[in-house]
Amino acid sequence: MSILSRLRCVTVDVTGTLIAYKGELGDYYCMAAKSVGLPCPDYKRMHEGFKDAYTDMAKRYPCFGHAAKMPNIDWWRTCVKDSFIRAGYNYDDETFEKVFKRIYASFGSSAPYSIFPDSQPFLRWARQKGLIVGIVSNSEYRYQDVILPALGLNKGSEWDFGVFSGVEGVEKPDPRIYEIALERAGNVAPDEALHIGDSMRKDYQPARSIGMHALLLDRFKTPDAENWKKSGAPVLPDLVAAQAWLTNQVEVAAGQ
């Protein structure tokens, strides 16, 4: 009997699984700076500055400031300002606000993202097979309300429910985010659900820890994929392969 015949729900990660970043972070920061007459910031310094600033903000105010009741725009304003400062650019408040508004608007739209061509067909196929489809993502509300719909991934036609860290106040790899997903799906049993993602730490391990089935996508040929396979995780190149796997894979006990 295939795994598909035993499933009631499939949950899917977003970035790296359904969509990807388009271009580099520096592209959007450069465009924002140029829009107010500033020179283009150095890409490498900007990338490193953002990475460090984001990590720091995520530790101090997790889930995009959810527990601190920090407005989403304020969380990002602090993060972006710190990114510029770490990269060596300390703009005056008025100039920074103009640059920030451009950046915030860009990343709140579909512009920096591209959708993988197999994403929409896979989600629609899963729903046609009678599965409840959920999105589980470490992201803020704009993914749910703006970005996914703008990319053609709509609630009601491609997915049934979403669990977004900035909305829920819990984020991967905390297994609770998957427990919320099972509740949202109608209290589906863990062994009747499958999670698909691209991170061993954030997707596969926490989903398996509560008894869900799980598989990993390796769209970008990451060196880590060999270790994933050695650990026993199913690793597939894309959602076309995932669809075939779901149809053909014989079910094994959830603990194996």
- pLDDT, average across residues 250-256: 45
pLDDT in tens, 161-201: 999 999 999 999 999 999 999 999 999 999 999 999 999 99
Nearest CA among 17, 6, 1 for reference residue 213: 6
Q: Which residues pair with 12 in a beta bridge?
A: 135, 196
Q: Among the CATH numbers 3.30.1950.10, 1.10.3720.10, 1.10.150.720, 2.60.40.290, which is that of 25-107?
A: 1.10.150.720
pTM: 0.93
pLDDT number for residue 253:
40
Domain ranges for the chain? 3-21+113-248, 25-107
**pLDDT-derived band at 254, boundaries 50, 70, 90:** very low
The answer on pLDDT for 251 being more than 80 is no
- Amino acid 112 reads P
The answer on pLDDT for 256 being more than 50 is no
Mean pLDDT of the chain: 95
Distance, CA of 4 to CA of 200 (rounded, Å): 22
Q: Among the CATH numbers 3.90.950.20, 3.20.20.220, 3.40.50.1000, 3.40.1360.10, which is that of 3-21+113-248?
A: 3.40.50.1000
pLDDT in tens, 119-164: 999 999 999 999 999 999 999 999 999 999 999 999 999 999 999 9
Contact 85, 14 (CB under 8 A): no
How many Å from the N-terminal Cα to the C-terminal Cα in the chain?
16
Tokens 């995520």, residue located: 58
Neighbours of 232 (CB within 10 A): 9
pLDDT number for residue 1:
67
Asked if residue 71 has a cis previous peptide bond (ω within 30° of 0), the answer is: no
- List, edge to edge, every strand of the sheet that includes 9-12: 161-164, 132-137, 9-12, 193-197, 213-217, 235-236
- pLDDT, average across residues 199-210: 98
